[in-house]
Structure 1
Amino acid sequence: MPFTAAEIARHLGGEVIGDGSVVLHRFAPADRAEPGDLTFAENEVFLARAEQGRASAIIVDRPAQSSKTLIRVPNARIAFARVLPLFFPETRPEPGIHPTAVVGEGARVDPTAHVGPWCVVGARAVVGPRSVLWAQVYVGEDCVLGEDVWLFPQVVLYPRTQLGARVRIHSGTVIGSDGFGYVQDGPVHVKVPQVGWVIIGEDVEIGANVTVDRGALGPTVIGRGTKIDNLVQIAHNVTVGERCLIVAQTGIAGSTRLGNHVVLAGQVGLAGHLKIGNRVSVAAKSGVMHDIPEGQKWMGIPAQPDRQAKRQIVALQQLPDLLRRVAELEKQVASLQAALGGQRQDGPAGSENPAVPPGGGS
């Protein structure tokens, strides 16, 4: 659907500089844009590319001169995120239950919800208004899904999972599987039954092939507004606070608690029973073995405050030169020792002691 530059500016709360009547049909990156396309520039480099390209209009967040129509906004990247749905609206399937779906006894599916082909909705489960279950989704017994929940193909919710409003879970993710709990009985590992559940707050998005284990007794909790990337493992009885970012291939061991606004970069590992404070950031590939106080940045294996870790990294980079210098010093010391040893051997063999004057000194 086409929009004028003025219409887009109103949608974004921005202002038009140039021709507000220019019609925009698509959104495209600057180097691939054609006439009739809109693009964006969040810095001078992107602005130069956009100016040289063929786009008809550019979203900017700074004063600029251009032969093209500009839409000036407070933040170009936020505007980019808000304008894309205008040009690429998400497909919403029609409400209803597909004939191949299986809905258990006592389950309640809101009339505005969509249950796709080969889905299973367990007994007594609740599917809220406008929720969408794409093909082959499994919703276990006694699950509760709030309004506008989207479950992409082959998502699995074990029994008693609770999803808040506007939760989105991508393909292949499993929520509520058994926690990894065993006790040693002689040579045998005895399984501890995992009888808890999972609670996921409003506006959470979970990527593809993520696993969130249910609690051993109580719940595993994912707080409101948290975003979880692909291939993340969250163990039993973990609590994740609100608006956290957990990046791909991160693993969080059992009963660890994350505060609000925590950022865990790619491939971070957290040991169990830790407490991670609010607004903590952990750098990629770090292994966290200790509690982290609020507001700190940690990195490394084992993880430690970032300034301390960076000093160690710098020192490690200097190690080859230090080893070379030590080897040179060792050679010099060995040569000096050899020379001094030769002098000591010559002293007793001489006929005179240079420290004593001729005639005995007295």
Structure 2
Amino acid sequence: MFTASNLAELIGGEVVGDGSVILTGIAPADVAACGDLTFAEKPSYLAAAEAGMASAILVPRGFESATKVLIRVKDARIAIAKVLPLFFPPERIAAGIHASAVVDATAQIDVTASVGPHCVVGAGVKLGKNSVLMGGNHIGRDSHVGEDVCLHPNVVLYAKTQIGNRVNIHAGTTIGSDGYGYVFDQGCHRKMLQVGNVVIHDDVEIGSNTSIDRGALGSTVIGQGTKIDNLVHVAHNVVMGRHCLIMGQVGFAGSTHLSDYVVIASQSGIGGHLKLGAQSTIGAKSGVMRDVAAGDTVLGYPSASDKQAKRQWIAVSKMPEALRRLKTLEKRMNGSKEA
């Protein structure tokens, strides 16, 4: 529970109206009740919020209201991201090791960490301060997990996985599974052993049912602050830079390198041994088969620069009309020949 003034102080905003109004929750404008905070980024959203029951509205600077208490901030979306954890603090998990967990005698579990039901913690594993294995987790030998890490149920870490601090990995994800490497030998596919590992740096979040393969010899690397969505596949020896955004159902072939702040939209496929430059963007459903320069945006399958791809799409949309005109011309030409 906060007053509007308390909340504004915490997020660097200013109150317009009664700063003593009590805020007990946060909700969308159409379902907000008395005591709730809502937010509005546009004038049309503000009108909807004013028509609702919310006690206060979080808005960008310059917004005015004759009927509601406002908390004005520089950027309403950033502010709401700061506010949400205040009303919905993370669940606190008690430290300790559940009776059903199997922990190797050589594992080092910090006294503040939590190992949940049916976890298996292998030889030489290190689990840092305040980290949580929620349940059904398998942590392979010689893996190191940093501080304030949360592994949701059924996350698996294969041997030698290295995870930094404040990493959050959602349910069903597998880190360090075998890379896909084979050589053709005398009519069959001979497996190339994948003996590397996965290194995940600080402040990374990985969605559910994602698979990140270990390196063939070296490491598959996920850079600091990178966010990976659900159902993503990262092949062996991929290296991601800092603060990349990888959306759902993206697939990477092996040994591709991403620089910092790369954004890849959903259902894209990224070929192997490519380089994606800093702050490059890959549009949804793209098939990337060539390097992408820093700052460039590519779209389509196969991918092309955004301007070129849009020209191609416009041209394709005009094809039916062009074909009709061509048939009309053919008929005229055939008629003139017969005459």
| Shorter-chain TM-score above 0.5 | yes
Q: Hey, what's the Cα distance between the residues in 1 that align with 2:285 and 2:319?
A: 22
Q: Hey, what's the Cα distance between the residues in 1 that align with 2:267 and 2:163?
A: 26
Q: Give the letter for the 2:285 counterpart.
A: K
1:64-123 per-residue CA deviation (whole Å, 9 max, x = no partner) reads: 123111100111011111111111111111111111111113110011111111111111
- SS of residue in 2 equivalent to 1:30: coil
2:49 is matched with which residue?
50
- SS of residue in 2 equivalent to 1:111: coil
Provide the aligned C-alpha RMSD in A.
Answer: 0.7
1:350 is matched with which residue?
none
- SS of residue in 2 equivalent to 1:8: helix
Q: Hey, what's the Cα distance between the residues in 2 that align with 1:157 and 1:43?
A: 44
Q: Give the letter for the 1:8 counterpart.
A: L
1:150 is matched with which residue?
150
Matched ranges for 1:275-290 at <5 A: 275-290=275-290
1:114-148 per-residue CA deviation (whole Å, 9 max, x = no partner) reads: 11111111111000001011011111100001110
Q: Hey, what's the Cα distance between the residues in 1 that align with 2:102 and 2:261?
A: 39
2:164 is matched with which residue?
164
Uncovered stretches (5+) of structure 1, i.e. residues with no partner = 340-362
Q: Hey, what's the Cα distance between the residues in 1 that align with 2:50 and 2:102?
A: 55
1:10 is matched with which residue?
9
2:141 is matched with which residue?
141
Q: Hey, what's the Cα distance between the residues in 1 that align with 2:254 and 2:137?
A: 27
1:358 is matched with which residue?
none
1:216 is matched with which residue?
216
The yes-or-no answer on 1:35 pairing with 2:34 is yes
The yes-or-no answer on 1:131 pairing with 2:111 is no
Q: Hey, what's the Cα distance between the residues in 1 that align with 2:105 and 2:25?
A: 47
Q: Give the letter for the 1:27 counterpart.
A: I
Provide runs of 4+ in structure 1 moved above 2 Å: none
- SS of residue in 2 equivalent to 1:66: coil
Q: Hey, what's the Cα distance between the residues in 2 that align with 1:3 and 1:276?
A: 45
2:199 is matched with which residue?
199
- SS of residue in 1 equivalent to 2:7: helix
1:126-178 per-residue CA deviation (whole Å, 9 max, x = no partner) reads: 00001011011111100001110000000000000000100100000000000
Q: Give the letter for the 1:55 counterpart.
A: A
Q: Give the letter for the 2:231 counterpart.
A: L
- SS of residue in 2 equivalent to 1:183: strand
TM-score by length of 1: 0.92
1:233 is matched with which residue?
233
Q: Hey, what's the Cα distance between the residues in 2 that align with 1:42 and 1:72?
A: 11
Matched ranges for 1:239-278 at <5 A: 239-278=239-278
Q: Hey, what's the Cα distance between the residues in 2 that align with 1:333 and 1:197?
A: 69
The number of residues matched between the two structures is: 338
- SS of residue in 1 equivalent to 2:176: strand
1:309 CA drift (Å): 0.6
Q: Hey, what's the Cα distance between the residues in 2 that align with 1:255 and 1:216?
A: 10
Q: Hey, what's the Cα distance between the residues in 1 that align with 2:65 and 2:83?
A: 22
- SS of residue in 2 equivalent to 1:86: helix
1:344 is matched with which residue?
none
The yes-or-no answer on 1:325 pairing with 2:309 is no
Q: Hey, what's the Cα distance between the residues in 1 that align with 2:103 and 2:92?
A: 21
Which stretch shifts more, 233-242 or 87-96?
87-96
Q: Hey, what's the Cα distance between the residues in 2 that align with 1:296 and 1:252?
A: 19
1:355 is matched with which residue?
none
- SS of residue in 1 equivalent to 2:71: strand
Which stretch shifts more, 210-219 or 86-95?
86-95
- SS of residue in 1 equivalent to 2:74: coil
- SS of residue in 1 equivalent to 2:30: helix
- SS of residue in 2 equivalent to 1:31: coil
Matched ranges for 1:294-309 at <5 A: 294-309=294-309
Q: Hey, what's the Cα distance between the residues in 2 that align with 1:46 and 1:89?
A: 27
Which stretch shifts more, 185-194 or 166-175?
185-194
Q: Hey, what's the Cα distance between the residues in 2 that align with 1:96 and 1:59?
A: 40
1:293 is matched with which residue?
293
Uncovered stretches (5+) of structure 2, i.e. residues with no partner = none
1:19 is matched with which residue?
18
Matched residues, percent identical? 56
Which has the greater radius of gyration? Answer: 1
